[in-house]
Structure 1
Amino acid sequence: MPAPTSDAVLTHEREHLARARANLARMREATLALDASKASDAVSGEALGATLARRVAALTDDPSTTLFFGRIDYTDPTQATAHEEQLYVGRRHVSDEDGDPLVIDWRTPVSTAFYRASPAEPMGVSLRRRFGVERGELTAYEDEHLSHPDEGDRVDGDLRSAILAEEIERPRSGPMRDIVSTIQPEQDALVRADVTTTVCIQGAPGTGKTAVGLHRAAWLLYTFRARLDRAGVLVVGPNAAFLDHISAVLPSLGEARVRHATIATVLSGDADPETPKERRWVVRGTDDVAVAVLKGDARWAPVIHRAVWAHAGEPTEALVVPRGSRRWRVAAYEVAEIVDELRTRGVRYEAARAMLAQRLAHAVMVKLEASGDSPDDRVQDAIARSAPVKAYIKALWPKIDAAGVVHRLLSDADFLTECAREDLDADEQALALWAKPPRAKGSARWSVADLGLLDEAADAIERTTSLGHVIVDEAQDLSAMQLRAVGRRCSTGSATVLGDIAQATTPWAPGSWDASMGHLGKPEFHLEELRQGFRVPAAVIEYAALLLPTIATGLASPESVRSNRGRLEHLKVDGAQALPAGTLDAIRSAANEPGSVGVIAVGSTLDALESALRDAGLAYGRLGSDHGDAEDHQIELVPSDVAKGLEFDRVVVVEPADIVAAEADELTGLRRLYVVLTRAVSALTIVHAQGLPPQLSSSAEPAGEPARPVLRR
């Protein structure tokens, strides 16, 4: 029987897609028909109702995409007829009326072969088929014969797959999309790392480290659902614009219960609605760079620990507890022994305070028994709750909160000196103290850097609840105190840490992954470096990499594996007054092609560009550090300090010299410029009136673009 033609194959696959969609609708209707009110009790009914609601949401078909993006054919060598089994790989599981799978979830163990099988190690797969998709319809397919690589349309590795190239280079619009159909073998290994493993991914721009982290969250929730549903998963990003950019990825993979937050909202308590009032703080102040760097230093941890425990006093009077006609006395030296023992137990301040009541009551019980009485546990509890014991503890071991502790440290020079000891010198103490201390903790104008101190104090008072898994993106920018705070939130779980040392743009950054992971409390971690770039074209990444010898000595240059080298253009204008007009020309040219356009500059330059865009009648949006755009625009104005983690089809960078000069020092400025230059997916245009940094001496455009593979349609 002759092999089917391309049209016949596509017709067959489209029929399978139609069948899968019909069965997905059937599964959703069957779920909707279930009645949670028939549960055995109200609590079970509520839990069942929530589960069914999530199930219904997961079974919703998205007409803009297909239910599967690939197929693997297994050949069973134990069968004389070499029986083949076909498995379609997609975003969710779909089965027919008999329970047989029509689509398998990409997170199942059997789907691993779709991502990792190769001619050298076929993993039992005879054929891998990828599908081209447009507006929810199958438009093309591409076969890779793994068991017999000389047959058919051999593709020597995923990176020469035409369908993969088209998907990776497809124009961007709206939020970041998932990469579930284009995950590479080395990425898949990181996505499927065990839940107990803390993974650190050093990734050059465009290597997909953010996508790997998000897909890892989806895989963990699928594979370890019971554990992580209970403990929770959190994604921490650098700013609100970044979180808005990635917000659609996990829901598209069927996971809508993962919380997203910036480091500021995590530490201020705004990321979790269940955060108690005493652990919520409002940021209303700012610090100079030198002060922020100091407050981010890990040396504050022992200082704050001493400040918290300084509130537990030394007993000078005996505890006297009336009971019946007698008064029972616990001498001050006996209380001191109890207090000293509690101080050395390694428990939190509030936990030790709760223990103190029981220890004092036990000391009274010992005296009761010595007198011939036979009290039981109820008597001890009654003594621990008695007014004399409560009053004694209130005076000896008062109830405190984090805001009060940090307020006292930053406003009382003598107290700071007492707690600092050898950790902070006199100059550092003077720098940290408020110039005009607020009268009360409630009127303190806390800064972002203060949040790390407050969180440290709050944890020293009462243990921070740990989540099951935390994903930290752009982690290279976090201070030691911020990393400690994140680490507390996965102290009994694991973490996925994403970043790029070359993109460290904060003066308080630790500077190495060993240091960062140590502050995070995860010194035993798996480090993986991703160098192969799928997003940034070669012309752009090679140009930006000219900065690497200066900003990240010893870090290897990234390699773009895309077939399209992209475009790099320079536009030198005559003086600053010509800058808006020249930029406007570059924006118009970029906007003539489909896809997004990011215009990146310092804030003052963007202010002038807004006026020029309005006068030209061009629609645009502007991203900010505090909030993302409410609606999508083809043209987005992006402050240089907000660009990290974002991507656009074409990027117009305005006046690189100003971007460098806007940072605290030249090294940080050059790292910021490296970030900005690598936001482009297809083309980069640099508009400038001033000279470029000397490191960017090579500014020639690429000679041309090699031919793209042709898809079978």
Structure 2
Amino acid sequence: MSTEELREEQQFVSGLYARLDALREEAETAVRASLRQVGNGLQARLERDIMVAERSGLLAAFDAGENGLVFGRLAFRDGRDHHIGRIGIRASDTERTPLVIDWRAEVARPFYLATGHTPMGLRRRRHITTEGRAVTALHDEILDLSDTTRTGHESADADEVLLAALDSARTGRMHDIVQTIQAEQDRIIRAPHHGVLVVEGGPGTGKTVVALHRAAYLLYAHRELLAKRAVLIVGPNPAFLGYIGEVLPALGETGVLLATLGELFPGVTATGTDTPAAAEVKGRAEMADVLARALADRQQ
């Protein structure tokens, strides 16, 4: 196994975190400076609040990148080479080519979809495993069989990274799957934004975590539109919302509202419980179709 490859990736990751720290310091300084501005008049206060909100959102994204900032690398046949991570980071404010590409960007799709049969222009795909800011393992998948270059990190099992994620310790909270999104999940996450999208599946098949990643993707692809309308995640109870509550912040998205059905009417919190008969009616499969139609009618 090549230690040179590990050393190279560690050097890149260390430089990336140095850039992250600098960006975080810049954002924190801007927030502090904005909060010290008193200003006269409504316009001045509005501009200050907008600046604070924007910089605070940046800080949330930078905090999200602290763990698992970069987890992939794409080597294309045409010589392009991109690192894939939780958030996009540029070397400077004027640099157009990013150091690391946001997983939601279109150029990152081959990381999730490319296969030996359909390599999508890739020569090889690398999975980068980190603990904190240290690179601990590399797993390379050869997608261009004519490429004879070997790094010593070629993986005999293409699902090795996925299996390692499934075997990882459970914490009682749902985690993001940004490093191991499968092709079927990616198609749902990046589906066009044309209204209601219903995802069906049995218990434990990943519907909720895919829906949360879709929310993160839509906020990336349609941020201006959704920032005006807001995004609401509705859950059956507070325990469920607590279980999923860390997924979107881990993806850099903190401006999403979470609520139970009993909290949807402003200023009112429902405390009653359904009778067994009412619960049975609400639990019927056809109720999902009724809700989908109602949502579709509302958007028309």
TM-score (norm 1): 0.38
2:80 counterpart SS class: strand
The equivalent of 2:192 in structure 1 is 194
Deviation at 1:236, TM superposition (A): 1.1
The equivalent of 1:509 in structure 2 is 283
2:200 counterpart SS class: strand
Structure 2: how far apart are the matches of 1:510 and 1:116?
35
2:253 counterpart SS class: coil
Structure 1: how far apart are the matches of 2:273 and 2:60?
42
Aligned residues: 284
Deviation at 1:138, TM superposition (A): 1.6
Is 1:133 the counterpart of 2:136? The answer is no
Cα pair 1:119 1:149 within 8 Å, conserved: no
Q: 2:170 aligns with which of 144, 169, 172?
A: 172
Is 1:261 the counterpart of 2:248? The answer is no
Structure 2: how far apart are the matches of 1:243 and 1:288?
23
What do residues 136-164 of structure 1 show as CA deviations (whole Å, max 9, x unaligned)?
Answer: 422111111112278553667xxx42122
Residue type at the aligned position of 1:56:
L
The equivalent of 2:61 in structure 1 is 58
Cα pair 2:70 2:100 within 8 Å, conserved: yes
Change (3 A) 1:162 1:264: same
Deviation at 1:513, TM superposition (A): 7.6
Structure 2: how far apart are the matches of 1:254 and 1:244?
17
Cα pair 1:66 1:138 within 8 Å, conserved: no
Structure 2: how far apart are the matches of 1:14 and 1:123?
27
Cα pair 2:195 2:296 within 8 Å, conserved: no
Q: 2:49 aligns with which of 26, 42, 46?
A: 46
The equivalent of 2:10 in structure 1 is 14
Cα pair 1:28 1:59 within 8 Å, conserved: yes
Change (3 A) 1:174 1:518: closer
Deviation at 1:518, TM superposition (A): 4.8
Structure 1: how far apart are the matches of 2:136 and 2:177?
19
What do residues 170-215 of structure 1 show as CA deviations (whole Å, max 9, x unaligned)?
Answer: 1111411110000001101100112224211112233221110000
Runs of 5+ consecutive residues of structure 2 not aligned to the other structure? none
Cα pair 1:168 1:182 within 8 Å, conserved: no
Structure 1: how far apart are the matches of 2:274 and 2:98?
58
Structure 1: how far apart are the matches of 2:147 and 2:105?
30
Change (3 A) 1:216 1:170: same
Structure 2: how far apart are the matches of 1:85 and 1:238?
46
2:174 counterpart SS class: coil
2:116 counterpart SS class: coil
What do residues 503-556 of structure 1 show as CA deviations (whole Å, max 9, x unaligned)?
Answer: xxx443232487345553438xxxxxxxxxxxxxxxxxxxxxxxxxxxxxxxxx
The equivalent of 1:494 in structure 2 is none
Matches within 5 A, 1:156-555: 160-266=158-264, 269=265, 275=266, 280=268, 282-283=270-271, 285-286=272-273, 288-290=275-277, 292=278, 506-512=280-286, 515-522=289-296
The equivalent of 2:75 in structure 1 is 73
Is 1:144 the counterpart of 2:144? The answer is no
Structure 1: how far apart are the matches of 2:203 and 2:274?
30
What do residues 599-642 of structure 1 show as CA deviations (whole Å, max 9, x unaligned)?
Answer: xxxxxxxxxxxxxxxxxxxxxxxxxxxxxxxxxxxxxxxxxxxx
The equivalent of 1:27 in structure 2 is 23
The equivalent of 1:577 in structure 2 is none
Cα pair 2:232 2:256 within 8 Å, conserved: yes
- Percent same amino acid at aligned positions? 35
Residue type at the aligned position of 1:122:
P
Structure 2: how far apart are the matches of 1:20 and 1:287?
52
2:74 counterpart SS class: strand
The equivalent of 2:80 in structure 1 is 85
2:76 counterpart SS class: strand
Cα pair 1:24 1:59 within 8 Å, conserved: yes
Structure 1: how far apart are the matches of 2:213 and 2:142?
27
Cα pair 1:67 1:91 within 8 Å, conserved: yes
CA root-mean-square deviation: 2.5
1:235 counterpart SS class: strand
Deviation at 1:240, TM superposition (A): 1.3
Change (3 A) 1:287 1:245: closer
Deviation at 1:6, TM superposition (A): 1.8
Matches within 5 A, 1:555-594: none
Structure 2: how far apart are the matches of 1:221 and 1:517?
23
Structure 2: how far apart are the matches of 1:172 and 1:522?
37
Structure 1: how far apart are the matches of 2:179 and 2:172?
19
Structure 2: how far apart are the matches of 1:518 and 1:186?
22
What do residues 686-711 of structure 1 show as CA deviations (whole Å, max 9, x unaligned)?
Answer: xxxxxxxxxxxxxxxxxxxxxxxxxx
What do residues 345-395 of structure 1 show as CA deviations (whole Å, max 9, x unaligned)?
Answer: xxxxxxxxxxxxxxxxxxxxxxxxxxxxxxxxxxxxxxxxxxxxxxxxxxx
Structure 1: how far apart are the matches of 2:159 and 2:292?
40
Change (3 A) 1:288 1:154: closer
Is 1:104 the counterpart of 2:101? The answer is yes
Change (3 A) 1:517 1:288: closer
Deviation at 1:69, TM superposition (A): 0.7
2:99 counterpart SS class: strand
Structure 1: how far apart are the matches of 2:295 and 2:27?
43
Residue type at the aligned position of 2:16:
A
Change (3 A) 1:14 1:154: closer
The equivalent of 2:118 in structure 1 is 121
Structure 1: how far apart are the matches of 2:295 and 2:60?
36
1:132 counterpart SS class: strand
Higher gyration radius (CA): 1
Structure 2: how far apart are the matches of 1:18 and 1:109?
26
Change (3 A) 1:57 1:508: closer
Change (3 A) 1:253 1:61: closer
Deviation at 1:259, TM superposition (A): 0.9
Structure 2: how far apart are the matches of 1:27 and 1:150?
38
Change (3 A) 1:150 1:124: closer
Runs of 5+ consecutive residues of structure 1 not aligned to the other structure? 77-83, 270-274, 294-505, 524-713
2:81 counterpart SS class: strand
Cα pair 1:21 1:61 within 8 Å, conserved: no
Cα pair 1:235 1:261 within 8 Å, conserved: yes
TM-score (norm 2): 0.85
